[in-house]
Structure 1
Amino acid sequence: MSIRKSQKEATRQRVLDAARDLFETQGYEETTVREIARRAEVAVGSVFTTFASKGDILSQVMADRLDELYAELDRVIPHLRGGVADRLRSLFAIHFAFETRRTKLFLAHIAAAFDWTLSPSTRPYGRNPRLRQVIRDCLIEGVNRGEISAHLDLEALLDALMGIYAWTYRLAAWEGADADQMSAVFDRQIGLLAEGFLPRA
């Protein structure tokens, strides 16, 4: 690696580290690119040389954390047992356990999903294709096993699950709920959804 490329990568990492800390402590909306640059000890121009926007910085901060989550999902998925509702509960329990390690950062990630100024390249909560595919695969397996009606709109069900999951984080924001408490609430919601997606006799 050339010296210039090495310096650029070091700058990029400082920006990501600074942004992660600021997003978690101050929130996404309250954090400015100028503050990120100051915390990273780089020029504002250096931030924009590496990232197109603050939204892109948040996307990369979150993406850099996901290798660990993917590894856990890849390890667990082949061993999931029970009906589709139980498998969904297990998958989302893993998500809750992972994201509550940095709850405020994940809340910032959810909040950014409602920023209408984000560029198409930015990936806030809900736009991550790999995470969506994990849930989609579980639903497709449910259809194949006869546990979900073949006539159901799986994308609508996927969106409902993602929406309920994100909304459950209000308990962390408002009441300081932990992963187990949110999983218990989400488990009941999965049960209600399951009543609707089961095949009709």
Structure 2
Amino acid sequence: MSNKQVTSEAGNKVTSKKQRTRERIMDAAWQLFQEHGFAATSTRDIAKHAQVANGTLFTHFENKDDLLRQLMLMHIDKVIAEAKREDTFEQPKLKMRHYALHLYRFYLAHTEFSKSLLQGLVWQGAFFSAQMEAFKKLLFDGTRQYDEVRAAAMMDCYFMTLIEGLNSEHPDVSNLVRRLSAKIALL
């Protein structure tokens, strides 16, 4: 076996161990955030629950907000992947309605986290730009031409409707999707 192969195998073990540690931290954080809330959960609580040193947590995540953003993005990606398996729509407006149903359901089930994520989206748009661009292109998948202006307007409608829902006393996914549909019908 060459030195290059040994190094490569050792590198994979390190990466694998680092990945497992990162996943343990993320699993612990998600569980504690759900049980105790984001604000009431400290990084020390997360590190203890994940059975890692507090400093180890900070080698993987900048801070607790960064950890929450990464968790939310991971879960949103899963929701989008699930919705994509059921996506049979060709028109961007119908695709938006389809994906919004899945995503709004997730956001409303995790209101506190969703509000934190949206605050970050407003002030740290670059962090989310790749995911937003991919989602806009997904809406136009199967159509002949991507329309950036229309996609951006649809995203504005989507987020404004989500903000309304997250601030509602009695949020309802079906009502949100109907409101979104009425808005994008005007485009």
* TM-score normalized by the length of structure 1: 0.65
Among candidates 103, 106, 114, match of residue 109 of structure 2:
103
Q: Distance in 1 between matches of 2:151 and 2:55?
A: 44
Q: Give the AA of the match of 1:167.
A: E
Secondary structure in structure 2 of the residue aligned to 1:28: coil
- 1:13 aligned partner: 23
What is the correspondence of 1:79-158 to structure 2 with a 5 Å cutoff? Answer: 79-80=88-89, 85-97=93-105, 99=106, 103-104=109-110, 107-114=112-119, 123=127, 127=128, 129-135=130-136, 138=139, 154-158=151-155
Q: Distance in 2 between matches of 1:119 and 1:134?
A: 17
Structure 1 pair 22–55 and aligned structure 2 pair: CA distance change class (3 A): same
Q: Distance in 1 between matches of 2:144 and 2:60?
A: 44
Structure 1 pair 157–191 and aligned structure 2 pair: CA distance change class (3 A): closer
Highest relative contact order (Cα 8 Å, sep 6+), 1 or 2?
1
What is the correspondence of 1:11-50 to structure 2 with a 5 Å cutoff? Answer: 11-50=21-60
- 1:147 aligned partner: none
How far does the alpha carbon of each residue in 1:110-149 deviate from its partner, in whole angstroms, 9 at most, with x for none?
Answer: 3243259x8777x4xxx253355334553798996xxxxx
Secondary structure in structure 2 of the residue aligned to 1:74: helix
Query: How many percent identity over aligned positions?
Result: 20
> Between Structure 1 and Structure 2, how many residues are aligned?
176
Among candidates 177, 180, 185, match of residue 190 of structure 1:
180
Secondary structure in structure 1 of the residue aligned to 2:86: helix
Structure 1 pair 154–74 and aligned structure 2 pair: CA distance change class (3 A): closer
Q: Determine if contact 2:97/2:181 at 8 Å carries over to the other structure.
A: no
Structure 1 pair 21–130 and aligned structure 2 pair: CA distance change class (3 A): same
Structure 1 pair 113–188 and aligned structure 2 pair: CA distance change class (3 A): closer
Q: Distance in 2 between matches of 1:72 and 1:87?
A: 13
CA-based RMSD: 3.7
Q: Give the AA of the match of 2:162.
A: Y
Secondary structure in structure 1 of the residue aligned to 2:22: helix
- Structure 1 residue ranges without an equivalent (≥5): 145-149
- 2:4 aligned partner: none
Q: Determine if contact 2:100/2:158 at 8 Å carries over to the other structure.
A: no
More helix by share: 2
How far does the alpha carbon of each residue in 1:75-101 deviate from its partner, in whole angstroms, 9 at most, with x for none?
Answer: 333x216x654442222112234x16x
Q: Determine if contact 1:24/1:108 at 8 Å carries over to the other structure.
A: no
Secondary structure in structure 1 of the residue aligned to 2:182: helix
- Structure 2 residue ranges without an equivalent (≥5): 1-8
* TM-score normalized by the length of structure 2: 0.69
